[in-house]
Amino acid sequence: MKSGPGRLPRLPGFDYASPGFYFLTFTTWQWQQLFGYVTSQGLILGPFGQIVREEWVKSFEIRPGLIRDAFVVMPDHFHALVGLSQEPPPIKSLVGLNRRARSISSLIGCFKASCTRRINELRGTPRAPVWRTRFYDHIVRDERALRAIRRYIEHNPRKLLSRSGFDSDNVVSNRGAAAQLCGGTEKREDLRV
């Protein structure tokens, strides 16, 4: 559910620690183009974009029960598909945080904090915002929707290049020049959605 004036950012009453797939989008603070840029050679990740990619991959190495699916780092936003398995979480909630362990909110909070800390260390701006506070989420309800979202993520760099006036067909594809931008589905496990 999209957030906006008079709208709730999350689906009321839904348990975001439930098994299934979730489509997530995070945007940079004030839509700053922090993570990369567009050239005639394609979409290029900068140092901050590399940090975002590294932290996303690391998030799944340290959190059993989460499934990393397709993702892409764009200049001013990040798209990802995340699966939660049916395995019980092996870790307890962190004291003082108002989110459940192994929930979507817990994953996002830790991911954003890690990225922000590393980016701010690199640019010498302690406590400066990197991300907008809220994020967009969509609960993936079936296999057809899952495939459509994977295609959307894969083609997102191509759409940006096209809007920027570049010939996207000759510059970017998920398996070519944009491999550094898009996460494959090598750790994907199919879940019932």
Predicted pLDDT at 89: 52
Predicted confidence band at 100 (pLDDT cuts at 50, 70, 90)?
Answer: very low
pLDDT tens, position by position, 1-60: 444 444 445 666 666 677 889 999 999 999 999 999 888 777 899 999 999 999 999 999
191 domain residue, yes or no: no
| pLDDT mean across residues, the chain | 78
171 domain residue, yes or no: yes
Rg (alpha carbons) of the chain, rounded to whole number: 17
85 domain residue, yes or no: yes
122 domain residue, yes or no: yes
Q: What is the pTM of this model?
A: 0.76
pLDDT tens, position by position, 67-91: 999 999 999 999 999 999 876 555 5
15 domain residue, yes or no: no
66 domain residue, yes or no: yes
161 domain residue, yes or no: yes
Per the structure, the complete domain to which residue 74 belongs is given by 20-183
Closest CA to 156 of 81, 54, 101: 81
Instruction: State both tokens at 168.
Output: 């996207």
- Range 57-67 average pLDDT: 89
Q: Domains in the chain: how many in total?
A: 1
Tell whether the model's pLDDT for residue 119 goes beyond 90.
yes
81 domain residue, yes or no: yes
Q: What is the CATH number of the domain that holds 129?
A: 3.30.70.1290
Most confident of the following: 11-15, 126-130, 137-141: 126-130
